[in-house]
Structure 1
């Protein structure tokens, strides 16, 4: 098994910087990458997160006001026929492990899926939640593609929202356009940055009326255990079901903005589409 000559932190720093660069090129804005401490990461589940105000997902106060999440994983390359998943690829492949290895009370190593469970909670609420990994083992090549602006195009992203089952390993090759997830095989598309930002661009072009409904749906899911949220949302629901002109759409957006500010402590923005 061949290991990369750079750390997970190096990959994280490079990809976060590439995201910041791309957002600036796309929108002329400087994005901020939230990076929690190791202690907080255990609670949150993610390594880095952003708040993109044009997404239809409200900022999550308990996740540092973010709505886009990344967990970084280092992949190693397996090159021999005796490798665990060789028969699935029949060629050299890259692999990362989803659970952490921890020592149990008996001193034996065991798989800990706590981080996965936290990520899946976000994904099940339809928040953009990704594993990001390396497609190279060379730090020099990582630096090269970072410098020339192609790093995000060459970074494989696995959308947690696409994963249905619990798995231990994720495998892929540099040329494959999908991942295999093991133990029971599940096939999932490999989402490169073009796929990710196409989804973000589509979200940005959503009409205000439709984004009102998407936002209301997300808030309703979060309000299950909070009576005060439910009361306020019921008032918005009555208007949402009857909005018929631009004035009513703007009124619902204003009420949603006030709700988010009051209950979550974040500011809600809507950007009119261009053209």
Structure 2
């Protein structure tokens, strides 16, 4: 299971590995970190593997749905090189602003941006990441001359520190990365990007209340190489649905990520992938998103 080290996928995969043998007739799940190039190094390895179910990818938006728009000379096609196995988790994101920013909600933020084009900045960890795409989509939907300055930082931790210092005005971050800063009052949430209210932030409105239909989440799922048999996909899907139902995994995901495992049949994940490609491809193109 190749992917980059650290963060939500690493935590999720290692919990899954502990419970996997109980559901897979004694087999073991080996977590192999192959980081780099926005997850495309690990994705390419899986795409070029035999479709025997022994090599799977912990995938997310960039490597699984948008890499063909973000990278030149990509050694695989996200739309054709994989077999969807299971949708693992869908993680909420929060629009967070620095403490000294005058705007207290999204309409006020957009009004300030219209009055002073280019004066407000937002941070992300790079072109094509959800923090970037969510803000680009917000600008497109808002219209009316909204121009926000995009500032790239090396990590989510660097972004949080920059916000606290007032170096940048806002970001769209996962709830887990912003949680400690929100609880301490060091940063202020003004909207959540999920389709339903977030229980952990009950007083924070949905972004879709200002921008109808605008939602953005971080998701992870398992993909295998193209050409896996239907019977094999069904068997692996059943194993991982059983793993997702374990109390330890469900409790950890809820406590650390403010979410619940998704699961379900492989067709559910395949349809989700199609929707993600349809929603985010125009945003990447409009933003001129090429990483190299």
TM-score normalised by structure 1 residue count: 0.28
Which of the pair has more CA radius of gyration?
1
The TM-score, its normalising length taken from structure 2, stands at: 0.26
